[in-house]
Structure 1
Amino acid sequence: MGVRDVEVSLAADDGVVLAGTLTLPAGEGPHPAVLLLHGSGRLDREGNAGRVRLGLGSSLAAALARVGVATLRYDRRGVGGTPGDWRSVGFDDNRRDAEAALRALAARSDVRTGAVGVVGHSEGAVHAMSLGGLPGVAAVVLLAGFARRGEDALRWQAEKVAGGLPAPLRPVARALVGRQVARVEASGADVVRVFGMRLNARWMREMLVHDPRSALAAVRVPVLAVTGEKDVQVDAADLDVIRDLVPGDVEVHRVPDLTHLLRLDHGVPSVRSYPRLLRGPVDADLLARVAGWLAHRLDEASPHR
């Protein structure tokens, strides 16, 4: 039996059905498995949002299947096959949905008991930090995850992104973020308008006050954390915080030329390079590093050893 994709339906705590894909490796199960959590916004199970196609889901699932590990990923609320309005879904809702998906994955008969991990990218990495302390999680991979209060992470990102724009646009970009934060904090609505744009205010309010450091200190399983030196959305220096806070086995990598999009860029880092970078694939070395690390760690965690 070869590698195969299985369409799955996952029940969230409030009854909403999350639509997803489970990629199973060749051979008979049960298999070690991971839950993949994507970044922020209107993302489907592959990490794509409209024309912005990160393609992390299928790329990572293929790399993991080659080393015998299954991968589950799902559409966010209001995206793809999952009902709802993505603009009114909170940061905490995303974490709760991830917990429900994790429970569903661990309960499957084709998934090996005790050999389930979590991989998160960007916002997904922050939720993976929270899931890493739950019973039954055997390994955690953090790709470009921040390790500071959400508002501090957002303001760092805003400054880096503004610095990579043409000089006349920099003050506008800085003012936009400041206006967004002020408008969101002053409102109790799920959705607000800032400069004519509809903004998920509930998500932002919850993200701004979230501090992942206590979750990191509660993770007792092995952790792999990777952030690129060319990342303009997450400070690679947060890897030091992750290494210092996780009490168990932690491995960190600050990768030269790796961007937030998990592609390499040998030029000056800027969000203006994103359209060009997205025409290429996810970095093969990163995929191989993650797959090899997870295969080893989940095999160590398996009861059959």
Structure 2
Amino acid sequence: MKKIHITCAILMYSVLSFSQDITGIWNGTAKLGEDKEISFIFNIKNIENEYVTEFSIPKQRVTALKPQKTTFENGVLLIDGANLGVKYEGKFNQTLKQFEGTFTEGVNQLPLNLKKGKLKLEAKNNRPQEPVKPYPYNEEEVVFENKEANVSLVGTLTIPKKSGKSPAVILISGSGPQDRDETFANHKPFWIIADHLTRQGIAVLRFDDRGVGKSTGNFSNATTKDFSTDVVSAVKYLKSRADIDANDIGLIGHSEGGIIAPLAANQTKGVSFMVLLASTGIPGSEISLMQSISMRPFPVPNEAEYERAIRKAIKIASSDNELSIIKKELTNHYNKTIAPILEPLVGNDAKVNEIIEGLIETRTTPWVRYFYNYNPATEIEKLKIPVLSLNGSKDTQVKAKINQNGIRQALIKGGNQDYKIIELENLNHFFQECETGKMDEYQKIEQTFSPIALKEISSWILEHVN
């Protein structure tokens, strides 16, 4: 009997140790390198007997991201953010009272331990361009519906203080789940653009991507085409307002937003002008290839062979075959071409397999497969409205010359009579004045958006509205 009592005690302890209340705020810091760190804050709630999580990345000023599912079973916390392209999985350490696990984004994994309690926030970077209240214009939070997609989109509308109707623009964010300010690296470029344009007499609507912030919907299942229907819904919303000039509504798209904008404009007659910022003008498959080479974080023994391997991977992933067949073909292809490169870098087969699995998942999402097969020039060619295209000369993510040439040729082929294409010197992908244009430079720069670029945008728009 004594033995049974001991066994029961052990089982009871096991149950109790895993039934603790995990609701509340958890925080942790992951190392990105020898001298770089990034902190996370997870707010876990219990709503109708289900865990719901929101998480923030203070250093990047990203808040209220909503993973699709949270579970806690047998001491393992799983925060499934497949809708956002992320995941956290950690096992609870009863002795240290912390979760010990890994934060995953795409193929990147960071060891991350979470402790309960609030995070002591670092002093924020200086961002001198950010506006300070009171603003010389009106601001309101608005909600509009994409009824076909059953999505509610929430954003901010800034409107000049004047009588009568104002021209308006809709800001369209780049790739990845973005909030209404297109927050990145502690910068909020859409806030800066909205403030500048509204001071010039132009109303501006900026909104959280579907599934981000206060907007509903599932981000991970959406494609560039789906996002374009959200923009069409935004156009319809502005046309319904008495304080907006329905004949002067334009689109400003940054990066992926620049290929969403033409798709949206060609679905409605409600768009009268367009501004493309760091937009691409060549097929998505070519953009992906270029970025796979230029942004690769590891060396390869033979560049030509590596390029051929990436081209074939993209060809496999973008085919019309069943997804199971595509994943099998990619697995075989990566095991022959990429695994030999990774093995000496990571040291063991299990890690290599894990990285390859991540690569396959990344290359087969709905968004990526659509992107591979989408050529924005096809939609740009159809545009009969005025177009302004701006790219930075030091953009390392979207090369200016090859993409602006694609945009220019499409506009000429379509017979567009009113367009302007400018390569702005010494500006990066986010239109910051910079030294190198590389991604690790973004956060170090105090400037959020070049005044020269802001002036180009507002002056051109004012020339094209009534």
- TM-score calculated relative to the size of structure 2: 0.57
One-letter amino acid of the structure 2 residue matched with residue 210 of structure 1:
Y
Q: How far apart are 1:2 and its partner, in Å?
A: 4.1
Contact kept, 8 Å, 1:161 with 1:271, in 2: the verdict is no
Which structure is larger by alpha-carbon Rg, 1 or 2? 2
Partner of 2:442: 274
Q: Distance in 1 between matches of 2:404 and 2:237?
A: 30
Partner of 1:157: 291
1:80 to 2:213 alignment: yes
Partner of 2:247: 114
Which of 427, 449, 452 is the equivalent residue of 1:258?
A: 427
1:23 to 2:188 alignment: no
Alignment of 1:89-108 (within 5 A): 89-108=222-241
3-state SS of 1:82 partner: coil
Q: How far apart are 1:136 and its partner, in Å?
A: 2.4
Q: How far apart are 1:183 and its partner, in Å?
A: 8.0
| Unpaired stretches in structure 2, ≥5 consecutive residues | 1-134, 328-353
More deviation, 10-19/81-90: 81-90
Partner of 2:408: 243
Contact kept, 8 Å, 1:35 with 1:105, in 2: the verdict is no
Partner of 2:388: 224
Alignment of 1:132-211 (within 5 A): 132-133=265-266, 134-162=268-296, 169-171=298-300, 181=314, 184-185=317-318, 188=323, 195=356, 197=358, 199=362, 201-211=365-375
3-state SS of 1:88 partner: coil
Q: How far apart are 1:33 and its partner, in Å?
A: 0.2
Q: Distance in 1 between matches of 2:355 and 2:314?
A: 10
More deviation, 195-204/289-298: 195-204
Change (3 A) 1:111 1:156: same
Measured against aligned partners, the alpha-carbon deviations of 1:258-285 in whole angstroms (never above 9, x if no partner) come to: 11021111x23322323323x4321111
Contact kept, 8 Å, 1:91 with 1:204, in 2: the verdict is no
Which of 157, 162, 177 is the equivalent residue of 1:42?
A: 177
One-letter amino acid of the structure 2 residue matched with residue 110 of structure 1:
D
Contact kept, 8 Å, 2:281 with 2:405, in 1: the verdict is no
Q: Distance in 1 between matches of 2:370 and 2:423?
A: 28
Q: Distance in 1 between matches of 2:428 and 2:299?
A: 20
3-state SS of 1:275 partner: coil
1:289 to 2:456 alignment: yes
Pairs aligned (count): 288
The answer to which structure has the higher strand fraction is 2
| Unpaired stretches in structure 1, ≥5 consecutive residues | 300-305
Q: How far apart are 1:120 and its partner, in Å?
A: 0.3
Change (3 A) 1:54 1:132: farther
Measured against aligned partners, the alpha-carbon deviations of 1:207-243 in whole angstroms (never above 9, x if no partner) come to: 1101111211111111100001111111212212222
Change (3 A) 1:170 1:84: farther
Give the 4+ runs in structure 1 shifted more than 4 A: 172-187, 192-198
Partner of 1:123: 256
Change (3 A) 1:15 1:85: closer
Change (3 A) 1:194 1:34: farther
Contact kept, 8 Å, 1:227 with 1:236, in 2: the verdict is yes
The answer to which structure has the higher helix fraction is 1
Contact kept, 8 Å, 1:22 with 1:72, in 2: the verdict is yes
Q: Distance in 1 between matches of 2:232 and 2:214?
A: 19
Contact kept, 8 Å, 2:168 with 2:205, in 1: the verdict is yes
Measured against aligned partners, the alpha-carbon deviations of 1:80-139 in whole angstroms (never above 9, x if no partner) come to: 001233222222211111111122122221111211111000000111122344412111
Change (3 A) 1:177 1:86: farther
One-letter amino acid of the structure 2 residue matched with residue 22 of structure 1:
L
Q: Distance in 2 between matches of 1:132 and 1:254?
A: 24
Contact kept, 8 Å, 1:67 with 1:292, in 2: the verdict is no
Q: Distance in 1 between matches of 2:252 and 2:271?
A: 11
Q: How far apart are 1:56 and its partner, in Å?
A: 1.8
One-letter amino acid of the structure 2 residue matched with residue 95 of structure 1:
S
Q: How far apart are 1:184 and its partner, in Å?
A: 4.8
1:67 to 2:67 alignment: no
1:3 to 2:3 alignment: no
